[in-house]
């Protein structure tokens, strides 16, 4: 069994109004040194297979077909074997 973690974020060329709103909130708390705040999604999943390559392939397929809008977003993932 493997455990995958997927991080989906807007591409750098896409404006992030939610990130801007959070950045303004951070500044209003007095943290003026913080900038370029971006908001994303974090997804975890277990994949029932004994092969790392298969788990990574499944994670990539799910990310490309469902989790990320590849026109506007990019994703990265990690896959680790679950110790039983």
pTM above 0.75, yes or no: yes
pLDDT in tens, the chain (84 residues): 999 999 999 999 999 999 999 999 999 999 999 999 999 999 999 999 999 999 999 999 999 999 999 999 999 999 999 987
pLDDT at 83: 86
| Topology annotation, domain 2-81 | Mth169; Chain: A , (3.30.1280)
Q: Which two tokens stand for residue 63?
A: 């990310």
Where are the domains positioned within the chain? 2-81
pLDDT at 32: 97
């Amino acid at each position: 069994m493997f455990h995958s973690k997927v991080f989906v974020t807007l591409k750098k060329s896409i404006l992030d109004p939610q990130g801007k709103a959070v950045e303004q909130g951070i500044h209003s708390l007095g943290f003026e040194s913080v900038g370029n705040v971006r908001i994303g999604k974090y997804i975890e999943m277990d994949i029932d297979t004994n092969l790392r390559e298969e788990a990574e392939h499944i994670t990539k397929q799910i990310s490309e077909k469902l989790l990320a809008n590849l026109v506007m977003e990019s994703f990265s993932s990690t896959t680790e074997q679950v110790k039983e």
